[in-house]
Amino acid sequence: MLVSKSQFAKIINVHRSRISHHIADGKIDGAAIVGTGRKSLIDVDVAIRQLQLRLDDNQMCGLNGLSTNLSPPKPPVPTISVSELAERVEEALEGYAAGLKRERLGVSIDILRAEFARVQDCVALASCG
């Protein structure tokens, strides 16, 4: 993921000037910097790996370093409401059930709906926790 220096500073929880210092000190370089000058972008994954390898452990244990977050950012989780998920699953189940030869396979729409209700309950519990 490519971001500006300011955005990268927010991601790792440091002041934006710290990113310029890291670049000047050679702690972020090469493949982590895309472009030149003020318009250059930071490749987040590469820059984080470089900083993990190059930052002094003593600095990271100081007051300023303790708040620095060098964990790779988690990708955004797509959000969908439980009701929208329920609608999509219901449509899929109806389409699936319509295509089944219920007599031959012994599958009824009631069994599928009961399973859907169980899955819906699990999803609702997971979204609340």
User: In the structure encoding, which two tokens stand for residue 75, read together?
Assistant: 């990708």
Q: What is the pLDDT of residue 8?
A: 92
CB 33 within 8 A of CB 50: no
Q: What is the pLDDT of residue 41?
A: 94
Q: What is the pLDDT of residue 30?
A: 93
CB 9 within 8 A of CB 19: yes
Confidence of residue 29 (pLDDT cuts 50, 70, 90): very high
Q: What is the pLDDT of residue 127?
A: 62
Residue with tokens 């009631």: 110
Encode pLDDT of 43-63 as tens digits: 999 999 999 888 877 666 655
Full strand arrangement of the beta sheet holding 33-34: 2-3, 41-43, 33-34
Encode pLDDT of 70-128 as tens digits: 776 666 767 778 888 888 888 888 777 666 655 555 556 677 778 888 888 777 776 65
Q: What is the pLDDT of residue 65?
A: 62
pTM, two decimal places: 0.51
Q: Which helix (H) or strand (E) holds 19?
A: helix 16-24
Confidence of residue 67 (pLDDT cuts 50, 70, 90): low
Q: What is the pLDDT of residue 123?
A: 75
41 bridge partner residues: 34
